[in-house]
């Protein structure tokens, strides 16, 4: 079996505490995220998708580095970092938030975990929010401590993940509510578990708090889960695009604002706190956005894989936007994509032309998410 040493990886990019385990369990290819390797293939991405939606998969997402914010002013400081109203965030609760800069541009879209009254984690997408938060703190006059703790999450996702959790932690874990967290132990390994994930399926994240125990934790979960159908896996681009979930840098970046993504619910301009980006976002909201994220269904044969460049979008010969994430969904039997287009062309049903890697194809603007178990797919 391939050993970690065979990959020829240097030390400039970190290895996850689960690295050796994922290689042992069949990881074939890695990407890099937050300066750390992340498994992105276990042989067949489509099989990984079916494993996720029919059973359950265990994914190494140690790349979701945590920014820990503590200290007497921690709660006030965290509210300064995000336009989302945190006044009702209870201890033990999580929220999906945006981190915005002074121009209202999106720097990250983490999960915020409230571990204590003045104890928070930001579970990051791919950018150095540790540096952003430490930088903001320098002249803030607030008493906070900001650091990256020794925390490495796993995602356990899929319809059978609940039964795997029950096997690991007993019946008492079954009442953990969506977007809540709990402190637990497994064979003496200290964990935080939360009912969150990046799959739009039933799912959990397990935040290992001792990187020397990565291998033991992975094996313990697989041993409990395999009889219930659990497979080693990786975050599924198919499922996350079906769910209309963002991939930072692909679908959003520092030049993207929340209104362009239709994420108005994550911005509350009415709160008293003077969060970073408030004035800019107020102005953007008043003026209206010039471009907007849409869903697309792209005609033709199944795409061979995800887009590897931003595909230009045209209408009547004029360039009006770009495809940011595209993939073929074997469940929907459609090519689906997230795209950013000029607002004039964002209406549901609009016909556009996408310059794919293999030539132009017709596409239709549709509603997102593409797949939602609670409703049927919007007709293309």
Residue 274 found at the interface with a copy of itself (CB under 8 A): no
Q: Point out which span in 100-108, 161-169, 220-228, 313-321 binds a copy of itself (CB under 8 A).
A: 100-108
Residue 273 found at the interface with a copy of itself (CB under 8 A): no
Q: Measured from the CB of residue 103, what is the shortest distance to a copy of itself in angstroms?
A: 9
* Phi-psi region at 213: left, alpha or beta (left = phi > 0; alpha = psi -120 to 50): alpha
Among 73, 93, 134, 280, binds a copy of itself (CB under 8 A): 134
Mind giving me the DSSP string for 138-206?
HTT----EEE--S-EEEEEESTTHHHHHHHHH-GGGGGPPTTBEEEEEETTEEEEEES--SSSSSEEEE
Q: Measured from the CB of residue 380, what is the shortest distance to a copy of itself in angstroms?
A: 23
Contacts of 148 (CB under 8 A, 6+ apart): 65, 66, 67, 68, 130
Contact 208, 12 (CB under 8 A): no
Q: Which residues, numbered 40-99, are part of the site for a copy of itself (CB under 8 A)?
A: none
Question: Is 163 annotated to bind ligand?
Answer: no
CA distance 20 to 75: 37
Q: Measured from the CB of residue 195, what is the shortest distance to a copy of itself in angstroms?
A: 25
Residue 279 found at the interface with a copy of itself (CB under 8 A): no
Residue 9 found at the interface with a copy of itself (CB under 8 A): yes
Token duo for residue 110 = 């983490």
How distant is the alpha carbon of residue 245 from its chain centre? 7
Among 43, 135, 149, 170, binds a copy of itself (CB under 8 A): 135
Q: Measured from the CB of residue 367, what is the shortest distance to a copy of itself in angstroms?
A: 22
CB nearer to a copy of itself: give 199 or 307. Answer: 307
Please state the φ and ψ torsions of residue 363, each to the nearest 5 degrees: -140, 155
Residue 139 found at the interface with a copy of itself (CB under 8 A): yes
Q: Point out which span in 110-118, 133-141, 195-203, 223-231 binds a copy of itself (CB under 8 A).
A: 133-141
Buried b (16+ CB within 10 A) or exposed e, 122-153: bbbbbbbbbebbeebbeeeeeebebeeeebbb
Residue 249 found at the interface with a copy of itself (CB under 8 A): yes
Residue 148 found at the interface with a copy of itself (CB under 8 A): yes
Contacts of 360 (CB under 8 A, 6+ apart): 314, 353, 354
Residues forming contacts to a copy of itself in the complex (CB under 8 A) are 4-5, 7-15, 31-33, 35, 101-102, 107, 126-141, 148, 237, 247-250, 254, 276, 305-310, 324-325, 357
């Amino acid at each position: 079996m391939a050993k970690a040493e065979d990959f020829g990886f240097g030390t400039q990019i970190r290895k996850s505490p689960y690295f050796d385990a994922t290689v042992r369990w069949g990881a074939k290819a890695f990407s890099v995220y937050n300066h750390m390797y992340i498994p992105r293939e276990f042989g067949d991405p489509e099989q990984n998708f079916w494993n996720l939606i029919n059973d359950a998969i265990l994914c190494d997402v140690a790349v979701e580095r945590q920014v820990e914010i503590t200290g007497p002013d921690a709660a006030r400081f965290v509210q300064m970092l995000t336009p989302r109203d945190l006044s009702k965030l209870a201890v033990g609760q999580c929220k999906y938030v945006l981190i915005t800069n002074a121009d209202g541009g999106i720097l990250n879209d983490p999960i915020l975990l409230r571990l204590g009254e003045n104890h928070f984690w930001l579970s990051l997408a791919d950018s150095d929010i540790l540096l952003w938060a430490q930088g903001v703190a320098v002249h803030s006059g607030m008493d906070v401590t900001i650091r990256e703790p020794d925390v490495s999450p796993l995602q356990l996702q899929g319809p059978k993940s609940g039964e795997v959790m029950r096997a690991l932690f007993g019946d008492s874990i079954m009442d953990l509510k969506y977007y809540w967290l709990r402190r637990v132990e497994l064979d003496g390994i200290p964990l935080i578990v939360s009912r969150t994930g990046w799959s739009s399926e039933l799912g959990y994240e397990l935040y290992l708090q001792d990187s020397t125990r990565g291998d033991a934790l992975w094996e313990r979960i697989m041993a409990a889960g395999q009889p219930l159908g659990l497979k080693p896996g990786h975050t599924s681009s198919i499922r996350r695009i079906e769910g209309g979930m963002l991939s930072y840098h692909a679908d959003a970046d520092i030049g993207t604002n929340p209104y362009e993504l239709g994420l108005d619910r994550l911005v509350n301009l009415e709160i008293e706190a003077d969060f970073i980006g408030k004035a800019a976002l107020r102005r953007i909201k008043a003026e209206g956005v010039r471009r907007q994220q849409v869903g697309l269904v792209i005609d033709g044969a199944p795409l061979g894989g995800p887009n590897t460049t931003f595909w230009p979008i045209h209408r009547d010969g004029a360039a009006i936007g770009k495809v940011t994430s595209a993939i073929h969904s074997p469940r929907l039997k459609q090519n689906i994509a997230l795209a950013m287009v000029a607002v004039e062309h964002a209406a549901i049903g609009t016909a556009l032309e996408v310059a794919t890697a293999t030539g132009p194809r017709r596409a239709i603007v549709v509603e997102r998410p593409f797949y939602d178990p609670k409703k049927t797919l919007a007709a293309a």
